[in-house]
Amino acid sequence: MLAITRQTASFVASLKASDPPQACRDAARTGITDCVGVMIAGAAEEAVRIVSAMSTSSTQNDGAPEIPSGRNLTASDAALVNGVAAHVLDYDDVALAGHPSAVLVPAILAEGWSRGASGPDMVTAYVGGYELWAQLAALEPGQLHERGFHPTAVMGAVATAAACANIRRLDSEKTAHAIAIAASLASGLVANFGTMTKSLHAGRTAQSGVIAARLAEQGFTGSLDVLEHRTGFLRAHSPSGQPRIENGTIDIGANWRLAHLGVNVKRYPTCYATHRSIDAMLGLVGKHGLKPERVGEIRVHTGITQKLMLRNSNPRTGLEAKFSMEFAMAAALIAGRVGLAELSDAFVCRDDVKDIIAKVRCSTTTEVMEGDQPFAPADQVSIELTSGEILTCEPVAYAKGSWQEPLTRGELQDKFLDCATRVFDRNQATILFDQLWDIERLGSIRELRLTAIGPTHDEASRRL
């Protein structure tokens, strides 16, 4: 049997800033930058306010700020609140069939803030957590979604523990204990998609990583074969029932998966399973100048696992609509975009939106594309007009913003500013984007301008 727990812990504990190739560091920078912007935009959502209200302000010196208010919390509570904010809009990036940045970044920010870590320390911890997640995913031939597990909350738990262990400079033995502790904190159900609880998955996962690393540092123990044991993490969560724990390949640190798989930045605040179809639909709308009254039926051909995630065929709220292919098509046709404004309860419940939702027909395939996403090889959209004419779009294999079709620096900045200026003025938002984009030059995380500046903030809080 492979010594997966010890081998991966050894990699994480020994990982230094100079080790990852540049492509890994670039991907980490993209993930960190995008996530912070989305986190700021999500902070005002009701789910975040509820979790924040349950988190008591802290006077501890090793605390971390709630973003963007600057309120000092314990590091674990900061990871919780900021993690919920990072995921609540479903606007955060995607990779490894989950949302690595939404759990890694809040945990790294919280733990790094309390430790006075540098920008390169953040990047290194991100790479370490991502690579552990990717290595474990490579050992499982099935898809966690199909068993009802949210990969972000399952794989993410051990990934955040690894990232926090790296930030805290734990040795290989204690890093293995941190991973083992976090393995028992992993959980999150697909059935809760379209509710506040999905964002709680990210917050609790980020918090679990902080807690696990700190417990391990103090001598708390877990099983050092927790990942590979026959009653352990990989087998317990395995949708295939046949994880490769005996004949798999452990090549973490030799095969840099972050460089190859990267991060997929979202252009729309909806489940990533809709994005290729939205690109196709918007292309048809723009090319043909389509109006809703001309449309008789919209046909979408997508993957069976994608449709499983998109559980709400007739959404009634903005949260439910994030997991609805039918809504995504309706919004793209009626508004000519799928943005934060369209993900409101009022827009979702409009009569014209409901009328188009009723005209969407989805079919599925069991075929799966190569790579880390449990998606069909491509999404296909066609429209039958009321005249009987059929309009079709070329199959879309990669959404704009994906690692294969990445956003430019300017496009990423546009999204960041759109998110951050919901709280910050444009100048401060631009300064923060530039800081994050040059993160490997950052001497301390505490230099980041993460707190909204206003007349009620004193100068000390402005430096948070």
Task: Give Cβ neighbours of residue 350 (< 8 Å, ≥ 6 apart).
Answer: none
E runs forming strands in 131-206: none
The overall average pLDDT reported for the chain is 95
Residue 74 has pLDDT above 80, yes or no: yes
Q: 14: buried, middle or exposed (CB in 10 Å: 19+, 13-18, 0-12)?
A: middle
Read off the pLDDT of each residue in 331-356 and give the average, rounded to a whole number. 96
Instruction: Return the percentage of the chain with pLDDT > 90, whole number.
Output: 94
pLDDT computed for residue 126 by the predictor: 98
| Domain boundaries, given as residue ranges, for the chain | 4-265, 272-392
Identify whether the C-beta of residue 76 lies closer than 8 Å to the C-beta of residue 25.
no
Task: Give Cβ neighbours of residue 227 (< 8 Å, ≥ 6 apart).
Answer: 4, 5, 8, 136, 158, 179, 183, 233, 234, 245
**CA-wise closest residue to 415 among 396, 447, 397, 437:** 437
pLDDT tens track for 209-255:
999 999 999 999 999 999 999 999 999 999 999 999 998 999 999 99
Read off the pLDDT of each residue in 134-153 and give the average, rounded to a whole number. 95
Identify whether the C-beta of residue 219 lies closer than 8 Å to the C-beta of residue 197.
no
* Residue 264 DSSP symbol: B
Identify whether the C-beta of residue 177 lies closer than 8 Å to the C-beta of residue 273.
no
Residue type, 449: R
Identify whether the C-beta of residue 428 lies closer than 8 Å to the C-beta of residue 449.
yes
Residue 449 has pLDDT above 60, yes or no: yes
Residue with tokens 């976090």: 182
Residue type, 197: T
Q: Compute the 3-state secondary structure of the chain and give helix, strand, coil in percent, each to the nearest 5.
A: 55, 10, 40
CATH number of 272-392: 3.30.1330.120
Determine the Cα–Cα distance for residues 226 and 216; give it in Å rounded to an integer: 14
Determine the Cα–Cα distance for residues 205 and 199; give it in Å rounded to an integer: 10
CB burial of 226-263 (b: ≥16 within 10 Å; e: otherwise) equals bbbbeebbbbebbbeeebbbeebebebbeebbbbebbb
Determine the Cα–Cα distance for residues 218 and 221; give it in Å rounded to an integer: 9
Query: Token pair for residue 134?
Result: 């990717």
Assign domain 4-265 to a CATH class.
mainly alpha
Residue type, 250: I
Residue 343 has pLDDT above 50, yes or no: yes
User: What's the Rg (C-alpha) of the chain?
Assistant: 22
Helix, strand or coil for residue 2? coil
pLDDT computed for residue 461 by the predictor: 35
Out of 34-38, 61-65, 99-103, pick the least confident.
61-65
460: pLDDT confidence band, cut at 50, 70 and 90? very low
pLDDT tens track for 21-39:
999 999 999 999 999 999 9
Helix (H) or strand (E) holding 160: helix 151-167
Read off the pLDDT of each residue in 425-449 and give the average, rounded to a whole number. 97
60: pLDDT confidence band, cut at 50, 70 and 90? confident
454: pLDDT confidence band, cut at 50, 70 and 90? low
**Residue 9's beta-bridge partner residues?**
none
pLDDT computed for residue 373 by the predictor: 85
**Residue 299's beta-bridge partner residues?**
361, 382
Helix (H) or strand (E) holding 297: strand 295-303
Dihedral of the CA atoms 35, 37, 42, 43 (nearest 10)?
Answer: 110
452: pLDDT confidence band, cut at 50, 70 and 90? confident
**CA-wise closest residue to 17 among 180, 167, 174:** 167
Judge whether 4-265 and 272-392 match in fold.
Answer: no
Residue 213 sits at the vertex; the CA angle it makes with 216 and 235, to the nearest 5 degrees, is 85
